Amino acid sequence: MVTKPGPQLTVHSSQSAGALSTVDCRLSTRNSRPLVLRTVALLAGLVLGLVPWVAHAQSQEPVKMRIEITENGFNGQPDFNLELEQGKTVELTFVFVQKAALEDVHIVVLKGYGLETPEISYYNKEATLKFVADKPGTFELTCDLDCEIHDKLKRAHLKVKGSGAASGAGAAALVPTAISMYPSAWEVAGAPVKLSASLKDANGSPVAKATVRFLVDTEFAGTKGQMEIGAARTDANGAAAVSYKPTFPGTQQITAHFEGMGLFAESEQSLRLQVREAEPAYVVAPRGLEGVSDRIPIGVAVVLLSIWSTFTFVLYQVFRISRATPARG
Ligand SMILES: [Cu+2]
């Protein structure tokens, strides 16, 4: 679906190499100025091979735009609208140029694409959203903070126009990503396990502020599915983690999934956990004496012992009195 410049270049140069060898054969039979012709053919082959590659690189050139944040809205308009073609790589840079409410802080979000800028303020004037406009539709572009000029920043939209070429050669390539997940223990017995995931791009750089969902394969009444354990956002190091208390025993297939965001393609990774002893999903509430039933025998023994010792003590006193009385008379 996605074409990359690298392999395409290789294909074209190998084709031109083929053409070159045919020319070479004819030349050697006629034996007329072979070096010049060979050089010309080589150059022509190189140019022909490069043309599609250059054209491809141009189609991937990002659409760069600067959007000013003013007290009257984005680029001075409360109903700011931006139209883009689907499949383009886009860089939207927001710039703080307010003349009023200078203490404002903004976080610009693009809903539907799951993107947000860092804080933009008088002190940190610029921030850029980079993404591939791969989803067609109309998306809200707003400020996520309760700022002074919020009313002027909540009606803007980004429209991504669908085009036939979007999924073809004109589409920009997403940056591949990879998740690596590891549990705090591979064998679980009645205790929660911590599932940690690390999300990186093709260069090994961490992908921050991305949502990673953790899922477990389940089977209920013969129907297989996936149950969400939890979701977490990656930090600056691309790390996200959740705590998981297994509620059924056996081998469990756990998956960490990233659905893609901005310039980054989706990725996922699975592992298998051995759950020896599962924590029950529910606990039966104690009824009546159930809670103390295991302590009853001890209580009864204590009571019986005290009755018998009192009785023995009384008997002993009676015996002493009965022995002391005849000595007086
Ligand atoms: Cu704001």
Look at residue 248 in the predicted model and tell me its pLDDT: 87
> Do 123 and 210 fall within a single domain?
no
- Domain termination site, one of 231, 247, 277: 277
Collapsing DSSP states into helix, strand and coil, what is residue 31? coil
What are 171's two structure tokens?
A: 């589409």
CATH code of residue 248: 2.60.40.10
Ligand 1 centre distance from Cα of residue 120 (Å): 8
Nearest to 124 by CA among 110, 108, 136: 108
> Do 259 and 202 fall within a single domain?
yes
> Do 250 and 184 fall within a single domain?
yes
> Do 43 and 118 fall within a single domain?
no
Ligand 1 centre distance from Cα of residue 143 (Å): 5
Ligand 1 centre distance from Cα of residue 239 (Å): 28
Residues recorded for the chain: 329
Half-sphere exposure of 195 (CA within 13 A, CB side): 29
Ligand 1 centre distance from Cα of residue 93 (Å): 15
320 found inside a domain? no
> Do 234 and 246 fall within a single domain?
yes
Look at residue 314 in the predicted model and tell me its pLDDT: 84
Query: What is the sign of the dihedral through the CA atoms of 6, 8, 11 and 12?
Result: negative
309 found inside a domain? no
Question: Cα separation of 87 and 110, whole Å?
Answer: 17
CATH code of residue 156: 2.60.40.420
Look at residue 277 in the predicted model and tell me its pLDDT: 81
87 found inside a domain? yes
Ligand 1 centre distance from Cα of residue 54 (Å): 41
Look at residue 45 in the predicted model and tell me its pLDDT: 57
Query: What is the sign of the dihedral through the CA atoms of 283, 288, 291 and 296?
Result: negative
318 found inside a domain? no
> Do 74 and 148 fall within a single domain?
yes
Q: Which residues lie below 8 Å from residue 107, measured CB to CB, with a gap of 6+? A: 116, 117, 118, 119, 120, 143, 144, 145
33 found inside a domain? yes
Nearest to 190 by CA among 137, 244, 234: 244
Look at residue 281 in the predicted model and tell me its pLDDT: 66
Ligand 1 centre distance from Cα of residue 152 (Å): 9
What is the CA angle 138-139-145, rounded to 5? Answer: 155
Ligand 1 centre distance from Cα of residue 74 (Å): 11
Ligand 1 centre distance from Cα of residue 79 (Å): 15
Look at residue 170 in the predicted model and tell me its pLDDT: 56
Q: Are strands 193-201 and 156-161 parallel, antiparallel or unpaired?
A: unpaired
SS (H, E, C) 63-105: EEEEEEEECCEECCECCCEEEEECCCEEEEEEEECCCCCCCCE
> Do 190 and 99 fall within a single domain?
no
40 found inside a domain? yes
Look at residue 79 in the predicted model and tell me its pLDDT: 94
Q: Which residue range is the domain that position 35 belongs to?
A: 5-59
Question: Cα separation of 270 and 259, whole Å?
Answer: 15
290 found inside a domain? no
Ligand 1 centre distance from Cα of residue 142 (Å): 8
193 found inside a domain? yes
Question: Cα separation of 70 and 4, whole Å?
Answer: 40
Look at residue 318 in the predicted model and tell me its pLDDT: 81
pTM summary value:
0.59
- Domain termination site, one of 246, 277, 308: 277
What are 46's two structure tokens?
A: 């190189």
Ligand 1 centre distance from Cα of residue 154 (Å): 9
- Domain termination site, one of 256, 277, 298: 277
Rg value, the chain, Cα: 38
Ligand 1 centre distance from Cα of residue 262 (Å): 21
> Do 28 and 79 fall within a single domain?
no
Ligand 1 centre distance from Cα of residue 73 (Å): 10
Look at residue 173 in the predicted model and tell me its pLDDT: 80
> Do 227 and 268 fall within a single domain?
yes
- Domain count for the chain: 3
> Do 67 and 123 fall within a single domain?
yes
Q: Are strands 267-277 and 187-189 parallel, antiparallel or unpaired?
A: parallel
Ligand 1 centre distance from Cα of residue 118 (Å): 12
Mean pLDDT by 10-residue block, N- to C-terminus, for the chain (329 residues)?
Answer: 39 38 40 61 57 50 93 94 92 96 95 93 95 93 95 94 61 88 91 95 93 93 91 96 92 95 93 85 63 68 83 83 64
Q: In this structure, what DSSP letter does residue 2 have? A: -
Ligand 1 centre distance from Cα of residue 105 (Å): 6
